[in-house]
Amino acid sequence: MKRVGAPGAVFGESSIYHVSFEGRPGLGGFDQPRRQDLYHLLRCALLLNGVDCSMFHGWVSSVHTHEHLARTVRGYEKALEAMAAEGCFRGM
C-alpha cells in the first residue's frame, strides 16, 4: 500500500490478514466510515490480476508456497496501482 500511495494498512493475527483503507482500528473499532466502494473495487481489481480474495481479509495457509505468496503480493500491488491511477484514493 505504501509503495503505490494507497491509504490504509494491512495487519493480522495468526494466518488471517486484514486490508483496511481506514488504517488499523483502535479498541473501539473504526472511527471513520468504511468505504465499501473501495473494497468492492479492490476485489474486482484483484480478480483481474489473478487473485481471488475477500474484500476485507485473506488467509495464509501451510499449503501456500512462496510462489503463491509472491503472486498474491504482485496481484495486490497491481490492483492498488490501478486503483491509484484511476484516482480512487484522492481526498483520503
Task: Fill in the DSSP letter of residue 49.
Answer: T
**23 or 66, greater pLDDT:** 66
Q: Which residue has the cell 494507497?
A: 6
How many C-beta neighbours within 10 Å does residue 83 have?
19
8 A C-beta contact, residue 41 and residue 27 = no
**Tens-place pLDDT, residues 10-57:** 888 889 998 988 877 765 566 666 788 999 999 999 999 999 988 788
